[in-house]
Amino acid sequence: MSIDQLTDKEKECLRLLLYPMRSKEIAIAMGRSVHTVNGHLQEARRKLGVTDSISAAHMLRDAETPQKIEGVNFWVSANPAELAHEDGAEAFGETESARETSRETWGLPFARRERPWNDLDLRWRIAWPVMLFFFAALGVSALSSGAATLSAMHLSVSR
């Protein structure tokens, strides 16, 4: 019941599922039949102990994405070659991938090309509408204050 037990084909199906693609589209992309893709997804669900493929895909994504521990960004990997940055510098410093990783932790409520899913946790799902309501109320109060000021100025000039 771990990510290590998944085969490469199962991992590929789960990654494409989050792309997002349906089983038929995954089958076309991989050059396999839909039944084969569904079999890979079913086997991945069984190995990970989950009931739906999206949960399995999220588990794989969380295991493969960069993690931030004690303020240091690094790639979770058993292969040390994957830890090196393309110019030879170690990924433990402030690199481009580390900056992109820190941007991903913001939890924006809209989809982007690199993250087409919306998997915000409950506190962000509550925080975003509250923040939007606060800023909308702030804007309405600023507009009404400005309108009141203009009205008072108009009355004083007209007398």
In the chain, where the domains are located: 1-64, 66-118, 120-159
Q: What is the pLDDT of residue 77?
A: 41
What are the φ and ψ backbone dihedral angles of 117, each rounded to 5 degrees?
Answer: -100, 160
The answer as to CATH 1.10.10.10 being correct for domain 1-64 is yes
Mean pLDDT across 20-24:
85
Burial class (CB in 10 A: 0-12, 13-18, 19+), 116: exposed
Q: What is the pLDDT of residue 42?
A: 93
* Listed residue (106, 129, 131, 109) closest to 119, CA to CA: 109
Q: 59 with 48: CB under 8 angstroms?
A: yes
Residue 116 or residue 87, greater confidence: 116
Q: Helix, strand or coil for residue 112?
A: strand
Q: pLDDT tens digits, residue range 53-82?
A: 888 888 888 888 765 555 444 444 444 344
Cα angle: 74, vertex 79, 81; to 5 degrees: 80
Instruction: Tell me: pLDDT of 20 over 70.
Output: yes
Q: What is the pLDDT of residue 1?
A: 62
What are the φ and ψ backbone dihedral angles of 112, each rounded to 5 degrees?
Answer: -130, 170
- 121-150: b (≥16 Cβ within 10 Å) or e: eeeeeeeeeeeeeeeeeeeeeeeeeeeeee
Q: 78 with 87: CB under 8 angstroms?
A: no
Which residues, in sequence order, are bridge partners of residue 112? 115
Cα–Cα dist 92/107, whole Å: 23
Q: What is the pLDDT of residue 34?
A: 92
Long-range contacts of 114-118 (CB under 8 A, 24+ apart): 116/18, 116/19, 116/20, 117/18, 117/20
Q: What is the pLDDT of residue 107?
A: 62
